Structure 1
């Protein structure tokens, strides 16, 4: 029989081993970030971002595009983060994880950020034929365990009915497809999936599930379509075009007043946050706030960490010179009342570091 000393040594060894197992398990459990979306036919939040991201404060949106308007009012981050509509740990039980009426928000995921996408109404619909191509963009190049494309059954009316699982028919599924088999495009990889949905006419919803291959992370997208409409012969999102968002209001720096070197309480202040990260890149969000007096324009500068490069931006014109990045207001968001704020964002390659931007304003 082992002595008390031997038993104590054995128990200590087991405790150390258990702690090591917990540490390794925790390390493997850290979620990696994957980002992407279906860009053609565009999902609701990607389409709202692509159409209105450059002029999200334009009051014309309320009458021209009321469903996008209500989504922007509910949570603008649902559009800025068009590539982050996912859930983790679903283990393939999509219907069990997402209730009827919540399919477009992935079951009120991300603390309700995407809830407005479930709103029933007259969303803008993309004209498609019964044989169309689903263009999926994978920003983090993770590939897919599988991608499933559903189309609503004939008789379902997305303008008046919430979307439920019983309204959907699976029309296409592809299996394990590593990123090396996707098309290499600017900012990531893309995949074109041929889809056939016979017997449909009029308004429908295309519902896509992308199971990313790096871990149990599932993406869910609602795309509004119109079968039988006039199909655009040159779609804006193809495998050969850049899948990156295309702000509609990119202005040259000369269209904004040159800021004077005033800042702080009487000029403008600025805050920075990293919205999301993935392998090889990240998204930065910057908020500009006017000081105690109204301003006519603003300029934000910061130093990029070593090895980083900005690939795209929105709501500002961003230029770089060496390691210095400069963002100048767009034509529509330079003038701010005292205490008012606006924001812009950018996507950069590399690993985010300590970023401390400064702001100057034209009074």
Structure 2
């Protein structure tokens, strides 16, 4: 081998070594970034973890639309929000949570991750877990981050998560844990670590929201979890308290929703001596479909029932609804109240939601609202 050939092969070998070293750096850096997003509250279960736990093995089963409509609309909005139940976080908040997460967006961490978790903010009758007034929140950490701190809040008396969007002013701090390295957490047999945060909300009854903020220790990464609970009532059983890593299925999923949905309002209408009004919002929309929400408000007198009629101008077809019973005939969809939200005091309101198919245009329907 000549000296020139030797130098040429030595140069090639050194280049290959450099490329291999760079590949290792990029691979390990990428894996570290993936491992950043791992954790949620498993008891009471966060909204997206609960939906994954109940329906992950049959997320395309249409029975979900009637048995668990809030999870159904969330799966339809973005399946990845459930498969990635451990990634609901924001970075760089620097402890200023209220500035980073606006009112009405607490459950989606301020529309984090390009709006992936927006459906977590949808108002409605989410499955609620029964808990005692003194309870523990179990936080699961899949990647061993530990915690700088964990705050547990409960919505104040009078707040109804079935009909109201969650705001910071609705919350009361009921439990917290300070700096806790993962070495002080419990090792789970299925993998990962967990810790309990004690909380107490004396005198509370009925529906409420438990809101947890977990500040992970490995970097400025803040996690936000909404859990629906029922103080002293009977509801869905407690979820399992150990979580396994999530993996996306091979089955086809619904298209991603747009992160800038349109909104509109409809005029007041009435029937007889009692009246009701409606306000319509397109919460999310995607190619070929959308998610709508209608607020129903009683007029100047209390009502016992309500019925909303929507006449669609562009061939839209409602495929499922929650917080009301929907029937469709031609271009007209009629929604009547559920058993629990028909009786409204004067000026009081409720909401119902629905999923629908649409074409290239999606103009709002014409509304009528009848009350008895």
- Please indicate the TM-score interval, normalised by the length of the shorter structure: 0.5 to 0.7
Distance 1:103 1:288, change over 3 A: closer
* TM-superposed deviation, 1:194: 1.8
In the alignment, what sits opposite 2:183? Answer: 180
| Equivalent residues in 2 for 1:1-363, closer than 5 Å | 33=35, 34-185=37-188, 186-230=190-234, 235-238=238-241, 242-244=242-244, 286=250
Runs of 5+ consecutive residues of structure 1 not aligned to the other structure? 1-26, 246-281, 290-363
Runs of 5+ consecutive residues of structure 2 not aligned to the other structure? 1-27, 254-372
* TM-superposed deviation, 1:229: 1.2
Q: CA RMSD in A?
A: 2.4
Q: What's the secondary structure of 2:70's corresponding residue?
A: helix
* TM-superposed deviation, 1:230: 3.8
Q: What are the superposed Cα offsets for residues 232-282 of structure 1, whole Å, 9 maximum, x if unpaired?
A: 8x84434xxx3327xxxxxxxxxxxxxxxxxxxxxxxxxxxxxxxxxxxx9
With structure 2 as the length reference, what TM-score do the two structures score?
Answer: 0.56
* TM-superposed deviation, 1:133: 1.3
Distance 1:133 1:45, change over 3 A: same
**C-alpha contact 1:142 1:213 (8 A) present in aligned 2:** yes
* TM-superposed deviation, 1:284: 6.3
Q: What are the superposed Cα offsets for residues 56-106 of structure 1, whole Å, 9 maximum, x if unpaired?
A: 111111111110010011001110100000000000000000000000000
Distance 2:72 2:206 in 1: 23
Distance 1:177 1:285 in 2: 34
**C-alpha contact 2:176 2:199 (8 A) present in aligned 1:** no
Number of paired residues? 223
In the alignment, what sits opposite 1:21? Answer: none
Report runs of 4+ in structure 1 exceeding 2 Å deviation: 30-34, 234-238, 242-245, 282-289
**C-alpha contact 1:147 1:173 (8 A) present in aligned 2:** yes
Distance 1:231 1:118, change over 3 A: closer
Q: What are the superposed Cα offsets for residues 291-339 of structure 1, whole Å, 9 maximum, x if unpaired?
A: xxxxxxxxxxxxxxxxxxxxxxxxxxxxxxxxxxxxxxxxxxxxxxxxx
